[in-house]
Homo-oligomer: A and B are copies of this chain.
């Protein structure tokens, strides 16, 4: 992996010079760079992020760093991920208009994207920790997953176009490698960068003793790594979503790749379930049950929207080579069962990916604030144990959670289990 000589990580001081000549950007911000207010706000694991404010407007400037910010320059990471993120944002905007920030400018050499500033949006994970509700959340997310899945696949696209795109994205090796290791493998052995809450050791041991669980996790890894069903966001957790009380947008697709239909919605569900299981540490007794119910309701709405939108696109936009009308409608037959069968397969995969995400976020490198912000470590371990054991159930028996009802019931059961 080479970092080009002319690449320079931005600072608030250098940013003005870098963007001064880009009309698409200066036109949005207004005035001269000297009039701009620049704040570095990147709190993620991988990038520099600046908010640039001027007399006319505000934009976000996101620049990739040539290493994993969370770990430091000992873990190099290719800048080309900005290239793929830009491609992802453009495709997602076409497939689900309005769902992702608008891109104003992309500089491949500097691995830099200038895009729409979302305000007053906040990262959804923080809102879930703070007990805030977002109207229409599940519907927006279910629609996004369905539209990007369907419209990025050979259900909709011409095969030649889709396969050309698979070729383009196949140049992206190091980024998928992070997911492959951190998500699917590291949780299940003593990987170097793992860490977990004290007290969880017996649960971790239970998981690692279970060879069937690990075999299923690896089977899911094979599905993730050797599958080009559609272009997936690749990292669709509540930290990749920004919301107001009534509006929801999806950001940060730098882990974009071709992968299974069920990947994004599976990861997303896991992050809602982790929000759900962590709530007893964040809510008082009066609010707890109501807010946990709301989170489950969002999960339900997400799947309802996903299935409905996928089914609508199946009827109206099935123009690719898969399940052609020639085999069904043109012969006077319905393809409803075929669609339902595919949706069941997608749900089965999603439940598996969901379970694994629930494991890696508490055992592997990149934990999430839902649990990490809990000060009482005994309580934290107890809540994480519920999350881990439900995750195992989903990986081992995805069929037992194939309907939304059975999935949510399982969550309610684990929510009152005393595992530790």
Residue ranges of A at the interface with B (Cβ–Cβ < 8 Å): 153-154, 159-160, 163-164, 166-167, 170-171, 173, 176-177, 180-181, 185, 188-189, 191, 208-209, 211-212, 214-215, 218-219, 221-222, 225-229, 258, 321-324, 326-328, 330-331, 333-335, 337-338, 341-342, 345
Contact = CB atoms under 8 A, between A and B. Distances in A.
A334 B212 CA distance: 11
A331 B211 CA distance: 10
B219 A341 contact: yes
B222 A229 contact: yes
In the assembly, how many copies of this chain are there? 2
B160 A173 contact: yes
Main secondary structure of the interface of A (DSSP, over half): helix
Given A185-B327, A218-B327, A228 B228 contact: yes
B173 A337 contact: no
A210 to B, nearest CB: 9
Looking at A173, A321, A327, A335, the one whose CB has the most chain B CB atoms below 10 A away is A327
16 contacts: A160-B173, A160-B177, A163-B170, A167-B167, A181-B321, A185-B321, A185-B326, A189-B330, A208-B331, A209-B333, A211-B328, A214-B327, A215-B342, A218-B327, A219-B345, A222-B229
B227 A188 contact: no
Contacts of A323: 215, 218
Contact of A164 (B173, B326, B337): B173
